[in-house]
Structure 1
Amino acid sequence: MSQTSLQQPVVAGVVAALVGFTSSFAVVLAGLRAAGATDAEAASGLLALSVVFGLAMIGLSWRTRSPVTLAWSTPGAALLVSTGTVEGGWAAAVGSFVLTGVLLALTGLVPALGRLASAIPVPLAQAMLAGVLLQLCLAPFVALADSPGWVAPVVLVWLVAQRWLPRWAVPLALGAALVVIAVSALTTDVGVAAADLVPRVDPTTPTLTVAAVVGIAVPLTVVTMASQNVPGVAVMRSFGFTVPWRAAMVTTGAGTSVAGFLGGHAINLAALSAALAAGPEAGERSRRWVAGVSAGTSYLVLALVSGALVAVTATAPAGIVETVAGLALLTPFAAAVLGALSIERHRTSSVVTFLVAGSGMQVLGVGAAFWALVLGLAVRGVLERSGPVQEPTDEGDDGGTPPRP
């Protein structure tokens, strides 16, 4: 393979990793903190996720000769923000992360479970996702009203970049936020200890509570499948690649469980990163698998700065991290709302699902995302005619049965 033929996929992989990491870092950090993680535990989770899916990406891309790209579950992190701390605290959240990994792996090992996971009506899944994203999407505007001097520069940079460099809008907003944090630190004399800049793991002994299983593990699995894995399959298919479904689900499920012990919440197929690594920008089609290896390697490098980013953002003015997270989620939120309301006869159940998920309500210690699905399905069953049943696609190249997007 010549140096010229390698350059395009290598660069595409590096860009995919940079965009994926910087555009969703703030969301994942906010989610882990909301679930009860200390800064050290959140830094451990980010490090574990980056390393595990970086290694998994290299292995899957090398083995399949396809640009298989993975990511942490950004909608899953938003779910953690909307759910908050559950009964049992951080240890119970970690237990639910480990269980989520088991459930994800089972969707690959047991085809019936994969079909069951995809059987939730698309409008309801999108409505639940939109409700989960709502609070974080409101955060930039609430913060702008509360702290305009700190937040306005971040929003302005995002707006200008959205006009001229849309792919880099969120990474540039994160850069602006880091500049704001640096200025704030100088004016308030807030420092960061050198020890906090060094990446390290902080394992947690997991526990399981009913509230964590029902309020985190179940909706986290549903959100990850519906909003990440299924679109990831669709993106790869659009570029002529077949995702090794069983291998991908078992790998991401096992990786989620391993990272879960260290504070990571969920790993899944990527969508945006997949488009960058599998598209024409990655060069000749037969060599685009190199972009997957390059992206995985880049994530291993980025993992080394995760602890430093957590330590620095811990000194941020109120609302800065949430602002970046909210700006990163505006496009997924708009897509989720559009998907939820796209079928007129199902709009009542979708609106109920959206409002319940966005309310942040807790009943019996269980968060709003679970009850949103329960009530949405109930309204759909009582008031609305059932839509067509989703069927699985043809078998993947390893015998898996990915659900139809």
Structure 2
Amino acid sequence: MGGIQALATGIVVAIVGFFSSFPIFLAGVEAMGATEAQAASALMAGAIAMGVAGIGLALWRKIPASCAWSTPGAALLAASVPDQHGFAGAVGAFLVAGALVVLSGLWRPLVRLAQAVPGPITQAMLAGVLLPICLAPFRFLPETPVVALVILLTWFIVGRFSRLFAVPAAVLATLALTYLELGHIPVPDHALTAPVWVTPAISLSGLISLALPLFIVTMATQNMPGISVLKSNGYAPSTGPFFVTVGAISILSAPFGAIQTNLAAITAAMCAGDSAHPDKAQRYWAAVWAGILYVLFGIFAAVVTYVASQAPLHAMEILAGVALIGVFTNSAAAAWKEDATREAAALTFVITASGLTLWGIGGAVWGLLAGCLMAALRR
């Protein structure tokens, strides 16, 4: 089954993919009003969904197609105003966004419509969403200096040697801080995660302020780059079946609270690289092993959410901010790269980061609209 190299790569991919992004996943669903039980269910469903999607695509297409939950989408949720229907409204948005991805796999004009938004504008919107979250470590520094400094220094020092393991190391530092504060490592009464059904509530405001931005940001920053990474490594992925698969998994997992599942870029590059297997035709096993571990992590997601709830004051906000600094750097660099769209990207960024909310619609949508309008007028 791919040999020891594929297994080792799959283990690294799963650790990096899960522990580098679960803090922002939890921040996103909790910002939408999820209870602790719903957050645990969402984390479980999200991990199992990306594991099953990765295993299915890898075995079906014999391509190292690693999948992930939408980290940019989670960041968008964390910075957005909760839907009027609470977490049920967010779940309805997850359902619609997944359906749009399925439709884009069946009807290519929808992909072209998503791509019609200039890349720098989308990246500027994402950077604007990320900025308030990335400021958290420094905003809470005066209030909890020890917690903030330990997490920041761990992330910085480990990152000098390995960027991939910088955030997982910060997670371990947070666990150590939790142990020192409580005197023991917190363990829930039940390690297995109980699924919690959330009946979706779909509304026009949820469609505009959550579902459409989720679809656009996930397609532009996750699904399309994921396809590009596979192509650059010599594979020929068919976008239709890939989009239908991750979209369908998103629809099935949404009622249990999971944020969108999508194709991954960074972990796909790891699975598709020489370190996964000397034979390119066997590298898909790395994605299979990673998927199996994602499923296992999902089964025990209740442990993760319980430990996170017992962490020191503001530790999880600080951890989420640290986890997204790299994503913010890449998004900001891409937003201001082109002269022709720099001013429009700046407007998008400022409006999005301002936290503006009008008629129940958040700053991400207004920033995207303003940036697209300015870019169109400049043409």
Tell me, yes or no, whether TM beats 0.5.
yes
Aligned match of 2:250 in 238, 253, 256? 256
The equivalent of 2:94 in structure 1 is 97
Residue 247 in structure 1 maps to residue 212 in structure 2: no
Partner of 1:281: 275
Question: Is the CA contact (8 Å cut-off) linking 2:179 and 2:185 kept in structure 1?
Answer: no
Aligned equivalent of 1:7, options 4, 9, 15: 4
Corresponding residue pairs, total: 378
| TM-score of the aligned structures, taking structure 1 as reference length | 0.91
Helix, strand or coil at the partner of 2:101: helix
> For 1:147-201, what per-residue CA distance to the aligned partner results, in whole angstroms no more than 9, with x for missing partners?
0122211111111101122210000001111111222223xx9966413x33110
1:361 aligns with: 356
Q: For residue 201 of structure 1, give the secondary structure of its aligned residue in structure 2.
A: coil
1:64-213 paired onto structure 2 within 5 Å:
64-186=61-183, 193-195=188-190, 197-213=191-207
Partner SS, residue 71 of structure 1 = strand
The aligned residue for residue 301 of structure 1 is: 296
Long gaps (5+) in structure 2: none
Find the residue that maps to 1:146 and give its secondary structure.
coil
Instruction: Report the equivalent of 1:216.
Output: 210
Identity of aligned residues (%): 38
Pairwise CA distance, 1:381:
2.3
Question: What do the CA deviations read for 1:308-357 (whole angstroms, capped 9, x no partner)?
Answer: 11011112222211111111111111111111111112211111100111
**Equivalent residue for 2:231?**
237
Q: Distance in 2 between the 1:380 and 1:59 partners? A: 40
SS at structure 1 position matched to 2:68: strand
Query: In 1, Cα distance between the equivalents of 2:223 and 2:3?
Result: 28
In structure 1, C-alpha distance between the alignment counterparts of 2:141 and 2:231, rounded to whole Å: 40
Q: What is the root-mean-square deviation of aligned Cα atoms in Å?
A: 1.5
Question: For residues 54 and 87 of structure 1, what CA distance do their matches in structure 2 show?
Answer: 31
| Uncovered stretches (5+) of structure 1, i.e. residues with no partner | 386-405
Please name the residue that 1:318 is paired with.
313
- Counterparts in 2 of 1:366-385, with a 5 A limit? 366-382=361-377, 384-385=378-379
| 1:338 is the counterpart of 2:333 | yes
CA separation in 2, counterparts of 1:244 and 1:7?
A: 28
8 Å contact 2:155–2:167 — kept in the other structure?
Answer: yes
Checking the alignment, whether the CA contact within 8 Å between 2:188 and 2:302 is kept in structure 1 is no
One-letter amino acid of the structure 2 residue matched with residue 356 of structure 1: I
Instruction: Give the Cα separation in 2 of the matches to 1:266 and 1:83.
Output: 16
CA distance in 2, matches of 1:237, 1:174: 33
Shift of 1:244: 2.5
